[in-house]
Amino acid sequence: MKPIVELITAWADYESKNPAANAAEFCSHFLMDHKGPAAPDQMPATLADKDADQELATLIGQLNAIHVVYAKSVLKSFPGIELEWFYFMKSIALHPEAKKSDVVAAVFFEPSTGIDILNRIKKAGLLIERSDPADKRAKLVKLSTKGEKLLQLLHRSLFKADQLLFHDLSASNKKLLINLLTDTQQKHQTLIAENKHKQLEELNLTISDQESKL
């Protein structure tokens, strides 16, 4: 493929996933994603690469833990409301109705734990549940009016935790981080959804197989 054709194709793909992105954001994304061929004597995965992966995973994990601390501080103004409820309710709000099992999968919880959380949210009067006409074994849920109002309040309140954690980053750096991490998030969300019962080694093989077909 000629370089100009590759560039135009990459831009079209990027724009379809990020409609509001500008040329500078695309260029940053493209350069990060196309580092050129590895040197002939370079190992496929060096110790430095593995250290960087581990450092990145640790950093993201620590940032998430800090965010949880801030978010739980915000939730002190909402007695009886758990942070996990917000994630579940936000996922439910994306659809007119959703299967309970799909909601649990979307927020990456174990089935039994996730169903228990949904039942507690329902008990609080925040969900409406009914049997799925297409599958009597399944349950459909949607937010009640009370749940919709609470979700709006939680969005506005928990934004304070987001803002506190990331206010030192410039707007351009925030966009860059979002662009860099979104593809990884979407790739692994799909990988998990399509390979629920596979072990980590099997997932690695699945990724290698997919990459070999590109």
- Overall CATH class of domain 82-164: mainly alpha
- 32-36, 141-145, 164-168, 198-202: the lowest-pLDDT one: 32-36
pLDDT (tens digit per residue) in 83-113: 999 999 999 999 999 999 999 999 999 999 9
At 39 the pLDDT is 45
Has residue 132 got a pLDDT over 90? yes
Query: 160, 74 in Cβ contact below 8 A?
Result: yes
The average pLDDT across 2-10 equals 75
Has residue 35 got a pLDDT over 70? no
Domain extents in the chain: 1-26, 82-164
At 40 the pLDDT is 46
Give the pLDDT band (50/70/90) at residue 34: low
Q: Give dist(CA 48, CA 52) in Å, integer.
A: 6
At 169 the pLDDT is 95
Q: Give dist(CA 60, CA 55) in Å, integer.
A: 9
The average pLDDT across 153-176 equals 96
